[in-house]
Amino acid sequence: MEYTFDDIWRLLNPQGEFVRRVNACGKIWNGLALHRKKHIYETIAALKAQGKYVNPNPLFAIKDNDTAEPLNWNGHALEAGRQYVTAKYNGSWGTYTVEDVMDFGLETLKR
């Protein structure tokens, strides 16, 4: 799955006045990194499958479920071809990908 805006919009299936939020939602969605889109989509899909609450306002449904966190690669096997830097997340320093640093606005260690 590509996790396009059409995918999340179909999943959310907004009704009534919330349909007019399409442009605002599209702008937010298209600005997210793929791993965050995947996390949001799969979280909402799981909640719906379990019959649990998902905010009917698609803007809040997306924002409320954007709970992805960057992966600290300390203790993990680093993947070839990726760039890693030392960065701070939640007050602790660790090894993160350059993509996560940019996506989450992490502070990096100056060398």
Summarised one tens digit per residue, pLDDT across range 24-73 is 999 999 999 888 999 999 999 999 999 999 999 999 999 999 998 999 99
Instruction: For the chain, give the percent of residues with pLDDT over 90.
Output: 88
pTM: 0.77
Work out the average pLDDT over 5-34: 95
Distance (Å, whole) CA 80 – CA 20: 44
Give which of 31, 30, 23 is closest to 58, Cα–Cα. 23
Distance (Å, whole) CA 17 – CA 104: 32
Distance (Å, whole) CA 79 – CA 67: 24
**Residue 111 pLDDT > 70, yes or no?**
no
Instruction: Give the CA dihedral 33, 37, 40, 41, nearest 10 degrees.
Output: -170
Mean pLDDT, the chain, as a whole number?
94
Residue count (the chain): 111
Distance (Å, whole) CA 62 – CA 76: 30
